[in-house]
Structure 1
Amino acid sequence: MSLFLGTHQNRLDVKGRVSVPASFRSALRQRQAKENHPLIFRPSHKMACIEGWPYEIFSELTNSLDTMDVFSEEHGDIATTLYAEAWPIEPDKEGRILLPDHLKEHANLTDTVTFMGLGTIFQIWEPSAALERCKSARQNLQKTPLSIPPIKTRREQP
């Protein structure tokens, strides 16, 4: 599985387009070998950034809604948060995406943006906010020990 790794800065042009980092485009090509789906972009519901989701990962996330009562308030809140401001966007031939104004406003984007890889998804930040987020994440982990499930080697997997 290809992962989104690293932190990259790119310029946002006057039309609102930005180039997706080459390593992210490569990861997307590997993920989409069989089917060509758009990326799903949505405002983070916790931070002032934009989340970029490969279509299949976004579908896995939203499939969990199928187990909920469609008429419940919780389903309505989650569905609204996930879908109402989400946009499918396909990069152009040069690997650029056109970000909708409401997403740029949510993340306070102007002329330069920072792409942060988070493994299966990525985020787009205003550069100084991205630095603060990284600093905050490191400080949080220093206060609370990091706890990740143990990694199984291929020999240990069934």
Structure 2
Amino acid sequence: MLIGEFNYAIDPKGRLNFPAKFRDEMGDSFVVTRWLDGCLVAFPKNAWDKVFTTLSQAGLADAYKLRRMLLASAAEVTPDKQGRILIPPSLRRHAGLEKDVTIVGTDPYVEIWDTDRWNQTLEADMDSAAVAAAMQAMKL
């Protein structure tokens, strides 16, 4: 299961350690692309195939914008022998990845955040009335 939070530093070449716990579930290679709230998302190949199929079959104008956002920036990555993945420069810029990075398991995918942005987003989410309402609706 892709859950948990891990903190790493990205190196100047854009290489990022990827948690061994996640590598086992993500497979030999996986897809990284832009995501909501200024982060990146990593999909295992089987989950990405479902996303790709859904996007390819959608005909709405908004679906076209979503396809463009997700597909144009998508990169297939393969961890090296040290368990690092290479994040392309355009994706690093989108997510503001310069030094400290937080990798968050949100099964069925993984989010990759600038640590400061993650902490700010998490704090805002925890104060959100929408989160409280969702928890109540799900009886959590």
Normalising TM by the smaller chain, what interval? 0.7 to 0.9
Aligned AA (1:27): E
Residue 43 (structure 2) aligns with: 53
1:91-130 map, 5 Å: 91-130=79-118
The 2-side partners of 1:13 and 1:41 are apart by 17
Measured in 1, the distance between the counterparts of 2:138 and 2:48 equals 22
C-alpha separation between the residues in 1 aligned to 2:115 and 2:61? 36
Aligned equivalents of 2:13 and 2:58: distance in 1? 40
What is the CA-CA distance between 1:66 and the residue it aligns to? 4.4
1:12-68 CA-to-partner distances (Å, cap 9, x unmatched) read 11211011012111322xxx4xxx4x2111111x31111111111011122123443
> Which of 35, 40, 59 pairs up with 2:31?
40
Task: Note the 1:4-153 alignment, pairs <5 A.
Answer: 4-28=2-26, 32=27, 36=28, 38-44=29-35, 46-69=36-59, 73-140=61-128, 141-142=131-132, 144-146=133-135, 147-148=137-138
State the TM-score, normalizing by the size of structure 1.
0.77
Letter paired with 1:49: C
Partner AA of 1:68 in structure 2: A
Q: How far is 1:75 from its partner?
A: 4.6
**Gapped regions of structure 1 (runs ≥ 5):** 150-158
Name the CA shift for 1:135/1:75 in 2 (closer, same or farther; >3 Å).
closer
Counterpart amino acid of residue 34 in structure 2: P
Aligned to 1:154: none
Considering only CA atoms, is the larger Rg found in Structure 1 or Structure 2? 1
Equivalent residue, structure 2, for 1:156? none
Gaps of 5+ in 2: none
Residue type of the alignment partner of 1:7: E
Going by fraction, where is strand more abundant, 1 or 2? 2
The CA RMSD over aligned residues, in Å, is: 2.1
Secondary structure of 1:6's counterpart equals strand
Partner secondary structure for residue 11 of structure 2:
coil
More helix by share: 2
Moved over 4 A (4+): none
Letter in 1 for 2:65: D
Flag the 1:107–1:94 CA change in 2: closer, same or farther, 3 A.
same
Once the two structures are aligned, what percentage of the paired residues are identical?
24
